[in-house]
Structure formats: C-alpha cells, structure tokens
Structure 1
Amino acid sequence: MVARGIWSAVLAAALGLGVTVGALAQVPPLAAEVLAYEGQHQAAWHGDLPKLKALIASGANLDVRDTRGRTPLHVATYARQREAIKLLAKAGANLDLLEDDRYDAVTIASVADDAATLSLLLSLGAKAGQTTSRYDGTALIAAAHLGHDEVVRRLIAAGAPLDHVNNLHWTAVIESIVLGDGGPRHQRTLAALVDAGANLKLADRQGNTPLQLAKARGYIAMVKLLEAPRAR
C-alpha cells in the first residue's frame, strides 16, 4: 500500500521472495485534473456545498466517474471535504465503489492517515473490510504497512478482517513487520493487531511466521510483542 501516494519498494533479497514488489501509486487528482473538473467532481473537490446541493436537486449522477474512475466521493475523500462526503452520502452516493486502481474511499482515507475522514465514512456505513488494490489487500493491511496505528485501531473497531491474506501472501501483521521500519508506530500497529486477536501463526509464502520475520530484521520490540503471553 501507499504512503501519501507511493508504495515503498521492497527488495527481493531482503525478503527472500525471489520477486520484487513494485511501486504502486494511489493517485489523487492532479492539478490539471482538478482544473478540468466540472459539476459534481468540481463541487466535491472544493467542498462547494451550495453547488453540490443544486446538482443533487437536479438529479445529477452522484457516482459519475472521472478519467481514473474516481467518483465525487473519492475526490471529496482525497480533499478531506467531510461536509461534502456527508452530503453525498445522505443523497445516496455509493460509499463502497472502487476506482480504477481498485481503491475505495475507506482505503484512500486509511492510506492518507486521515483518521477523521475514515471515522466519518465508517459512521455513514462504508465497509471496513473490502478487498482493494491490485494486491487484493484491505484498508487494514494498507494501514498496517504504513504504521498508521490510529487508523488500524479504528478499522479493527469497525470489524475489519484481521487475518485477510493478500496475493503476496501477507497479512496485516506480516506487513507491519516486513514493510515497516520497526519503529514506534509500527510497534503500536502490531500491538493493536495482537491485542485484537490476529492470527500470529499465519506465515508468508516461504513459511516464515511473524515472529521469525521480526527476529530476522532485528526488531527487538516487535519480537517481545510476539513472544508475550497475550500473543499466544
């Protein structure tokens, strides 16, 4: 998953995978796209509530797509226009659509470490556990990768699946280790997953458990978390 737009490159030698995980962009609207926006997308990006209300009253399509498959809700999420999100949701916009790169609004907010917008989307009924991205992951896996610990806690509270395995054969627990830096935020992320009851026996494609992966990286604090009685 992507931190503010760009995935970390993961080297095959470091992971022992025999493959390289390529960079994947979660693409917010570019300046040129924003300038070209009209109607619902323009109003959503700028949080122009009067215009958005007028469009809704006229029967405008609330799930119309831009050139990258983004709906007005996606655009409002990228722009952190929470009042526009509320208005779109109340008017019947679909909260769970995927854009062309297979992200939903929940994952967009999660990757952006935007806990406030995430909480709003969840309170409006957006799903916490959709399969998203070309890696068949989830918002929880994305947030765990990035060490967005508060987002992780909110997704867990909303019932996000703890043990989803993506097509790299990684869970949120594994991503918090192999794609993290072992620092405080990734430690808090792992602790939240452990406390929630994530399955710590699920291994990667090479059979490495989270504990083995943490030991191999010298992440002492994570090793202690995984060896603690609550982790068993």
Structure 2
Amino acid sequence: MNQDRVKEVAKGIYDIAPIALAAIPFGVLFGAVASVSNFNTQNTLLMSLLVYTGTMQMIGLHMISAGTHWLLILFASLVVNSRYLFYSAVLAPHLKSLSFWWRFALGYAMSDQIFILAERRYASRDSSTAKHWYMLTASFALLAVWILTTWIGFAFGNLFKQIQGVGLDFALCATYVALAAPLLVNPRTLIAGTSAGLLAVSLSDMPYQSGLFVSIAVGIAVGLIADRFLRDGRSGIVDEENP
C-alpha cells in the first residue's frame, strides 16, 4: 500500500466508527422485528445484504408481513430509494476514472451516511489520489456492522417471541416517526405530512396496504398546493410593500 492509501483507510475507519456505533440499535431492531415477524435467518440476512437500506428494510418487512402485493412493495422501494439517483449524480465525476468493479463495489455499499462522508472527503482540498479507498473502507465497515447487528437482533428476537408485551411492533412504529419527524420543518411539510398521516389511518383497511400509497400521493399533492399558496402569499406581501 502506498502512503495515501494507508492514510485513507485509517481515516475511513476513524470517520465511520461513531456512525457505525449509532447504527447498532437499528440493525438489532431490524433483526429482532424480522424474527418476531416469522422471517427465517437466511431471508433476514439476505435482506440486509441485498437491500441494505434501513428505512426500506423496515418498510418492506412491515409490508411483507401484512401480505402486501409485491408490485406495491417494488413501487415503495423505488420511491424510498430514489434519492440514490441524486447520490450517484453528485459522486459520478469523482469516480468516473475508476474501473467498473470499483464503481460497482462503491455503489453497492452506498448509504446516506457514506454519501455524506464521501462528498465531504472529495470536496476537501488535498493531494490524495486514493480517496476511493476512504470510501471503500467506510462503506464496507458500516455494511459489516449492519449485517452483524442484524444477526444479533435476529438471535435475540427468537427469545423475544417468548416475552409478552415486549413492544417490538411499537418500536417499529416509533422508528418510522423518528425518521419522518425531522423532515417536518416548515408549513408545507407539516401540512403534507399531517394530510398523508390522517388519510393513511383512515384508509388502513384497504387491501394490500394500498391506502398507504393513496395517502402518499395525496400528501404530495397537498404539499405542492400548499407550497404554491404560500409562495403566492409571500409574493403578494412583497408587492404590497413595494408598489
């Protein structure tokens, strides 16, 4: 290994360590909920290995357990993971000189946290020519932690089956809330989120969990309408102040 490569590997381990530590409870939670939901070990570990996105794994697990049609699960996956198109567009100029297998490996192990670290590393002004080693090290270190904690959670989940009222179903719902709440930061997102949430509860009896997608579509439409009205309102105020 040349000096740049050694430094990038060491920095990747150093930077990913606190993020991997924070991911442990979510990996354990997913494994435990999968066990309680009667998934087997192979399917649970394959989901973490092949899907490898905590949000979609939680959503997909819930939808599969509820008997949702596979086309709706596929649609949910495309919607939830569409942000990776943005990630690839941002990082592509930095990775275009790498071989296909390098780009495949880095793309496979991409996650929200890795994108932030990689974008920050490539934006730094230094002479290192091995920044892809930083990204590779951080990516697969986090992936290893995720798969290991999934297995640990699944093992403990088998014990949780014998415990009444352990509250794993509530933990799953609480995780959804924790993921969504930080996004409700302005009137538009509050209106859209509230509309979608209330409608999802009202349509919860629809077959194949299809009410969820109706509520998402309505929430998006309401958010766009609210955004337009709010912008028009601000424009009217500006016009009145500057006749």
- TM-score, length basis structure 2: 0.22
Higher gyration radius (CA): 2
Higher relative contact order (CA 8 A, sep 6+): 2
- TM-score, length basis structure 1: 0.22
The structure with the largest helix share of the pair is 2
